[in-house]
Amino acid sequence: MSDLESTNLKLLPRSLIAVGDVECALAQTRAGERVAILAPKGARLLADFEGETSEHAGKTLLLGPKSPRNAAALRSNISWLAPRPLGLRTSAGMGDRMGLATPGHVRAVRAVGGKIAPIFAQQSIREMARTGRSPQQVMDDANWGIFAEGWRDGVGADADHLKVPADIDACVAVGYSFYTIDPGEYVDHRAETMAFGDLRAAVDRLPWDKLEDSAKSMTARYLNKTLDIEGRVIRFGEVTLLRAAVKYGKAVAHVAAMYRHLAAKNIPFEFEVSVDETETPTTHAEHVYIASELKRLGVKWVSLAPRYVGRFEKGVDYIGDLQVFEDDFAVHAAIARALGPYKLSLHSGSDKFSVYPAAVRQTRGVVHLKTAGTSYLEALHTIAPLDPAFFRSIYVFARKRWETDRASYHVSAELARAPLPEKVADADLPALLDQFDAREILHVTFGSVLTAHNADGSWRFCDRLTTLLRDNPEAYAANLERHFLRHLKPFAGA
């Protein structure tokens, strides 16, 4: 028995660790979970933590809250808790919109033998705004889950879908290691249908100063050039070149500016470029253009998320022809090897079970899977049998919010196809999460559900939902582990 175990505190067994002559763990108390530190009197690290101290076995016992200060102190004193770059290893990001999912995520990664490099702290700025969370809260919630489960094999932390420099600043201050830049607002989809003359005029209007280039110089680099990439021929005719430049030129300039802003922070980081949340697929020539221009501007990135063919909708499997997807994806993977290497990233990757084998096969494991809302859906799956009436009320509310909340997503669910709440028996409520339309409706309305208030100002759903999950942590973790094993197993053999 360790000295900390002899305190008679109810310790979470996987959390107990020794760092030199200091022991740390999470303890379950009447006031909730607390961090417990047992150290020699006067130990330097004690000053990093806050909490109540007492004497035990000639040492100082500190019992403190799960506060930002204590989370930061753990990260600074326990090396494997601090996020770090993960390189080109097969990796997966597991977003958590409520801050309670990390234990289940850790168990799933551990169950596949640690063959996946994990990112447990991941939430987009848009999702943070919708749930009222901050980069600090997202980082700390994941930190406590990692600590509780005793994961020691390294983690990343994804500052996801950042759009402006201030987003970077907020995440650097907390210690994120992986920065996903979303230049979607700078992608010009009109290029897809512009006439030749309009394309020429649009090229002339590109921000050439920010691109450190000119239309003449760009044309000389690409026009009528043919690339043979692993036997796939990509040719830049004039229309192809102009269309790529008009569609993505401003986005490239924005990404380069964001990269330089981040690089000036002088921190270890990895960089991801995301153009997935756009209206039209990224062609192979456009992929070459994006990667070549970013390289010319000195940007270094570990992964890139093009907009793939077919539909990657939220929380449901891939919609489209799987063979067409694989044939198209294979060329993107070849480009990533030729111009990198860098990982291809699967955004909105939750529940895309049918495409995982092709993604692993074609990238040879140099791939990143990004999931988010599926963990929220597993939260609903957990509480549905525990409190059917409460879950039904969430579904009723979600249906009312659907038409408004769907506006910022590429989704195709229809309210008329989703089962009516009053027609579903209590025992059948969990099955709503397996019905395409109901699943997307519940997925997309998460922000409205988690921030809804009653007339008296109290939380309409969030408090009850959180309480049910906190009171039944093993049920939630088990559901997450089961669900994420389906996600991770195809990638673990890479």
Which residues are identified as catalytic? 160, 272
Report which residue type is found at 161.
H
Nearest Cα to Cα of residue 27 among 6, 55, 58, 57 = 6
**400 φ, ψ (degrees, to nearest 5):** -70, -30
Do residues 445 and 402 make contact, with C-beta atoms less than 8 angstroms apart? yes
Give the N- to C-terminal CA distance of the chain in Å, as an integer: 40
Do residues 100 and 141 make contact, with C-beta atoms less than 8 angstroms apart? yes
Rg, the chain, Cα only: 24
CA dihedral over 335, 341, 345, 351, signed as positive or negative: positive
Report CA-CA distances (Å) from 279 to 49, 180, 242, 289, 413.
Answer: 48, 19, 18, 18, 17
- In this structure, the number of other CB atoms found within 10 A of the CB of residue 260 comes to 13
List of E strands, 125-249? 156-162, 178-181, 226-229, 232-235
**160 φ, ψ (degrees, to nearest 5):** -95, 140
Nearest Cα to Cα of residue 491 among 315, 356, 352 = 356
Nearest Cα to Cα of residue 123 among 95, 84, 165, 94 = 95
**429 φ, ψ (degrees, to nearest 5):** -60, -45
Report which residue type is found at 458.
S
d(C-alpha 306, C-alpha 284), whole Å: 10
DSSP state of 281: P
H or E element, residue 28? strand 22-29
DSSP state of 319: B
Give the CA dihedral 211, 216, 218, 219, nearest 10 degrees: 160
Do residues 297 and 252 make contact, with C-beta atoms less than 8 angstroms apart? yes
Residue for token digits 């760092």? 19
- Cis upstream peptide for 65 (omega within 30°): no
H or E element, residue 149? helix 135-149
